[in-house]
């Protein structure tokens, strides 16, 4: 029912990608999402290439379904990870934090599908020209590093501007968001925050519970002044960061304050000093459940809703 160019291209059952989240998206989470019919993605973050090689190996022990690796282009190990992905036969690469331009030729030669995250129309148009296979259009509602435009406005503008298929990200947490994204012209969705609150995510329970408890305005942006804004749940760390920003602290000072904070939240469960990266959708997440259920609930809601709309149309015809 939800067959699109994305399901055909990636050879997956449902057009649902799990965001490649640094520290969060380990082989356990990615394998669970792929097994459930979506596309699981290992988040390489700033990890060295050998760590990612090991993650790929462990994922392959858990599933034989397609999966991807997310490469943060600002990582000092980005080039080595491109090499590992090509050697290991990884079918899909998503990229964050910039343009993957210089790696496109090599990835294509190894038959790897390239799907960058884009925050603007101009970057989507440029990357289409450079030969990427699809783009992930991420709105400012998302967790982690963000752009300025909303999913609602950006997705249809990019749908109109390019011919390659589009995956919508940012603010999608259930079947309603999934259907809304498809209505905007997306042929798939990428979901991050909802999967942080999955049973399989190797994320400290304190972090997961903080998302479950979060209300509508709790996911806040820091770092606007640095040019690298990040959305995370409000806590002692975000307050300190904003205070420094308001006092015109130097970039070095802010970078120092921010470094290692996501790991502190994910691994140590420090919900005061860690960065609890999360999207605005946190206010919608009320439980921690297996990936199979997260995906199953999204798909069954969407199917029922479409059935309902179809029946209404039929009913109208009868009158
Ligand atoms: C904890 C966390 C870490 C993230 N790390 C990355 C990353 O390393 N690379 C990347 O491209 N996107 C990253 N993202 C963005 C996600 O891949 C995804 O696009 C985003 O979460 C979608 O929005 P949502 O949170 O509203 O679902 C991260 C998001 C979160 C919540």
Given the CA of residue 280, which atom of ligand 1 is nearest to it?
26
CB 118 within 8 A of CB 136: yes
Ligand 1 centroid from CA 319, angstroms: 48
Ligand 1 centroid from CA 299, angstroms: 21
Q: Does ligand 1 have an atom closer than 6 angstroms to the CB of 142?
A: yes
Q: Does ligand 1 have an atom closer than 6 angstroms to the CB of 41?
A: no
Distance CA 135, CA 303 (A): 25
* Residues of the chain where predicted confidence (pLDDT) is lower than 70: 311-319
According to DSSP, the β-strands at 166-169 and 188-191 are parallel
Given the CA of residue 117, which atom of ligand 1 is nearest to it?
11
Task: Specify the DSSP class assigned to residue 224.
Answer: G
Q: What is the torsional sign of CA 146, 181, 70, 79?
A: negative
Q: Does ligand 1 have an atom closer than 6 angstroms to the CB of 117?
A: yes
Residue carrying structure tokens 């050879």: 11
Burial level of 90, CB count in 10 A (0-12/13-18/19+)?
Answer: buried
Residue 9: the pLDDT is 97
Residues 161-209: tens digit of each pLDDT:
999 999 999 999 999 999 999 999 999 999 999 999 999 999 999 999 9
Residue 313: the pLDDT is 64
Residue 312: the pLDDT is 62
Residue 307: the pLDDT is 82
Residue 318: the pLDDT is 45
Helix, strand, coil shares of the chain, percent, nearest 5, are 50, 15, 35
Ligand 1 centroid from CA 307, angstroms: 32
Mutate to test the pocket of ligand 1, among 75, 119, 143 (most ligand atoms within 8 A of CB): 143
Q: Annotate 156-170 with b (16+ C-beta within 10 A) or e (fewer).
A: bbbbeebebbbbbbb
Assigned token pair, 8: 């055909």
Residue 319: the pLDDT is 45
Ligand 1 centroid from CA 43, angstroms: 9
Q: Does ligand 1 have an atom closer than 6 angstroms to the CB of 277?
A: yes
Cα of 309 vs its chain's centroid, Å: 29
Distance CA 279, CA 139 (A): 10
Q: Does ligand 1 have an atom closer than 6 angstroms to the CB of 138?
A: yes
Residue carrying structure tokens 């282009």: 73
Q: Where are the domains of the chain?
A: 5-202+289-314, 205-280
Predicted TM-score of the model (pTM): 0.95
Q: Does ligand 1 have an atom closer than 6 angstroms to the CB of 19?
A: yes
Q: Does ligand 1 have an atom closer than 6 angstroms to the CB of 21?
A: yes
Residue carrying structure tokens 């080039």: 79
Q: Can you tell me whether residue 89 is helix, strand or coil?
A: coil
Q: Does ligand 1 have an atom closer than 6 angstroms to the CB of 177?
A: no
Residue 81's φ and ψ, nearest 5 degrees, are -70, -35
Out of 3.20.20.70, 3.40.640.10, 3.40.50.460, 2.40.170.20, the CATH code matching 5-202+289-314 is: 3.20.20.70
Ligand 1 centroid from CA 236, angstroms: 21
Given the CA of residue 141, which atom of ligand 1 is nearest to it?
26
């Amino acid at each position: 029912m939800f067959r699109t160019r994305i399901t055909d291209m990636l050879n997956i059952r449902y057009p649902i990608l799990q965001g490649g989240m640094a520290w969060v998206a380990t082989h356990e989470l990615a394998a669970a999402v792929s097994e459930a019919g979506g596309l699981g993605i290992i988040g390489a973050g700033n990890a060295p290439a050998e760590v990612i090689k090991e993650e790929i190996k462990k994922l392959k022990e858990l599933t034989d379904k397609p999966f991807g690796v997310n490469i943060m282009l600002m990582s000092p190990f980005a080039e080595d990870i491109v090499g590992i992905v090509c050697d290991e036969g990884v079918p899909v690469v998503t990229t964050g934090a910039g343009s993957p331009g210089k790696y496109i030729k090599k990835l294509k030669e190894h038959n790897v599908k390239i799907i960058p995250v884009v925050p603007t129309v101009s970057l989507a148009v440029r990357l289409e020209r450079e030969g990427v296979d699809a783009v992930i259009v991420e709105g400012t509602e998302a967790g982690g590093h963000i752009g300025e435009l909303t999913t609602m406005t950006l997705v249809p503008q990019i749908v109109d501007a390019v011919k390659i298929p589009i995956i919508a990200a940012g603010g999608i947490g259930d079947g309603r968001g999934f259907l809304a994204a498809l209505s905007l012209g997306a042929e798939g969705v990428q979901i991050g925050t909802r999967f942080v609150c999955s049973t399989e995510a190797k994320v400290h329970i304190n972090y997961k519970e903080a998302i479950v408890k979060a209300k509508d305005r709790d996911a806040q942006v820091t770092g606007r002044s640095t040019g690298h804004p990040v959305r995370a749940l409000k806590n002692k760390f975000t307050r300190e960061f904003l205070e420094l920003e308001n006092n015109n602290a130097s970039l070095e000072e802010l970078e120092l304050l921010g470094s290692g904070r996501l790991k502190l939240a994910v691994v140590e469960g420090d919900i005061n000093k860690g960065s609890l990266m999360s999207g605005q959708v946190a206010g919608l997440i009320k439980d921690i459940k297996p990936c199979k259920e997260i995906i199953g609930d999204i798909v069954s809601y969407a199917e029922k809703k479409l059935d309902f709309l179809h029946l209404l149309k039929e009913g109208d015809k009868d009158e």
